[in-house]
Amino acid sequence: MNEFLTLALASVAGILIGLIFFGGLWWTVRKGISSKQPALWFFVSLLLRMGITLLGFYFIGRGDWQRLVACLLGFVIARFVVMFLTGSSIEDQTRVKQEAGHAS
């Protein structure tokens, strides 16, 4: 298979893994806030998201650093896609951090 095509597929796979990871995180936070047992939501979500992510990187990389880097690049791109789709911005995150600092 062409090397460029292999790296492009690794990037697409990284985007899919990132969408699962960061989309799952967004969904968990929304469900966990209103749950009676938020720790359980966050813990189970963490295990599932990390398991999927690690297995995905393991099978996509197959010991080739170039595929791992391409997958990681796709993963990072997915973070920004999820931030855009969920309406999260840098200003919102800064405001939340400042509010959290005032609460303590």
pLDDT tens-digit readout, 15-72:
999 999 999 999 999 999 888 999 999 999 999 999 999 999 999 988 899 999 999 9
| pLDDT at residue 87 in the model | 86
Count of CA atoms in the C-beta half-sphere (13 A) of 22 = 20
Task: State how far the alpha carbon of 28 is from the alpha carbons of 2, 48, 71, 78, 101, in Å.
Answer: 39, 11, 24, 17, 23
Count of structural domains, the chain: 1
| pLDDT at residue 54 in the model | 96
Domain hosting 52: range is 3-103
pLDDT confidence bin for 98, thresholds 50/70/90: low
Pick the closest to residue 82 from 11, 30, 25 (CA basis): 25
> Model-level pTM?
0.79
Q: pLDDT, tens digit, for every residue of 67-89? A: 999 999 999 999 999 999 988 65
| pLDDT at residue 28 in the model | 94
